[in-house]
Amino acid sequence: MVEEVFDVCDSDDNVIGQAPRSVVHAENLLHRAVHIWIWNTKRELLIQQRTALKDQYPHCLTSSASGHVDSGEDYLTAAVRELKEELQLSGQLEFLVKLPAGPETAYEHTVLYELVTDDPPIPDPNEIADLWFEAPGKLMERLQQTPDLLTPPFRELFQWWAEQNGMADRSE
């Protein structure tokens, strides 16, 4: 299998080169990633547990779907691709936020999209060990009690979302 190649970026998300995935991760080079949150109509968030095969944060909880932006790809194209690859879902994605790359986001310029749907996801077993819907209040409890069980980018995204939705200091 050919190793993925990512765009390496500066702190302002300008592309300054390309490198293989292994080099980008080993050297903590700044690169790009997307996260997609799937909400059902009960306003529960689809959470995935990563497989043991993942090179970073195996077994951790993360966004409904997520992945790296391939070299030359834009954020939205990557989000549509990841959603289809990981969950066999599609739909009109809504942009929510872009977080800058740094240690707290695993050196990823991180863009978050969301989709509201009750269509059943079909998880890719190579990517996803488990999948379930969870109320935001329960997720806030997880974040407060066992933050290391969530990937760093997901923690940052959920903290941002909680602040935007008035629940940064409480549970629902």
Per domain, the residue ranges of the chain are 33-164
Give pLDDT, residue 170.
43
Q: What pTM did the predictor assign?
A: 0.93
Residue 172 in this model has a pLDDT that exceeds 50: no
DSSP assignment of 115-170, as one string?
EE--SPP---TTTEEEEEEE-HHHHHHHHHH-GGGB-HHHHHHHHHHHHHTT-TT-
CATH number at 33-164: 3.90.79.10
| Confidence label for 57 from pLDDT (cuts 50, 70 and 90) | confident
The pLDDT of 126-155, averaged and rounded, is 95
The SS3 of residue 23 is helix
| Confidence label for 39 from pLDDT (cuts 50, 70 and 90) | very high
- CA-CA distance, 127 to 41, in Å (whole number)? 25
